[in-house]
Amino acid sequence: MLKKMVQIYLYTRYERFWHWLQSLLIIILLLTGFEVHDTYTLLGFGRAVNVHNFVGLAWLIAFAFFVFWIMTTGEWRQYIPTTKKMLEVIRYYSYGIFKGESHPVPKRKEAKHNPLQRLTYLSLAAFLLPLQMITGLLYWGYNNWTAWGLGFLSLKTVAVIHTLGAFATLTFLIVHIYMTTTGHRVSAHVKAMITGWEEVEEGTPVQDWERAHPKTSTGT
């Protein structure tokens, strides 16, 4: 039976801008980082290093703005982990999605992420990405370690941690791209991150204003 869908304005302009900017920066960092490790030749070693360093610093600045945004807007609440319906969500992605079942935790304005997403995104934002940025900065400033009082660090250890983090980030990126195809249409989630409007099944809790004024909010 076909499910009737309604639209809610879910992602603000800044969220969409940050999402696509970070995606671009991470892809460039992965491409140049693996080239620096002599995986292939694309830009040449010297240029790859320069681009990697520049984009890495840009990513760090952009991430700082993102943290400021979520803290000042209250969006940090979207990342508070919860185990409520976690097993149902895992079952859905493991089994139910292939049978056309409805998502056990439909998206809504006050809860954009399901329990599994919350745990994943919090782990990324609070642990993996900062770890990559810190080890990247250390790698970049290796010649100044003694002056910074960090002479006790091992370059090999920092390099290994940074590389493992890159593979973890690549793994997340691949899984994330796959997950974007699991909406009621293959392009539904990608379209939502472009327009801001997410399609959900009729009956999903949405704000009364959005029910009464579909597709009229401009967002921020």
What does the domain layout of the chain look like in residue ranges? 5-212
What integer pLDDT is reported at residue 220 of this predicted model? 47
Determine the pLDDT at residue 202: 63
Model confidence at 58, in pLDDT bands (50, 70, 90)? Answer: very high
CATH code for the part of the protein at 5-212: 1.20.950.20
| Residue of 103, 95, 75 whose CA lies nearest to 200 | 103
For residue 216, pLDDT over 90 is answered with: no
Cα dihedral sign, 50-55-139-167: negative
Indicate if the pLDDT at residue 205 is higher than 60.
Answer: no
**Segment 131-148 mean pLDDT:** 91
Half-sphere exposure (CA, 13 Å, Cβ side) for 142? Answer: 11
Tell me, what's the pLDDT at 203?
57
pLDDT the model gives residue 195: 92
pTM for the complete prediction? 0.83
Q: What is the mean pLDDT of residues 142-157?
A: 90
- CA dist 16 and 14 (Å) reads 5
What pLDDT sits at residue 162? 94
- What is the structure's pLDDT at 34? 93
Q: How confident is the model at residue 209 (pLDDT cuts 50, 70, 90)?
A: very low
Is the distance from CB of 103 to CB of 114 less than 8 angstroms? yes
Spatial distance between the Cα atoms of 152 and 66, rounded to a whole number of angstroms = 32
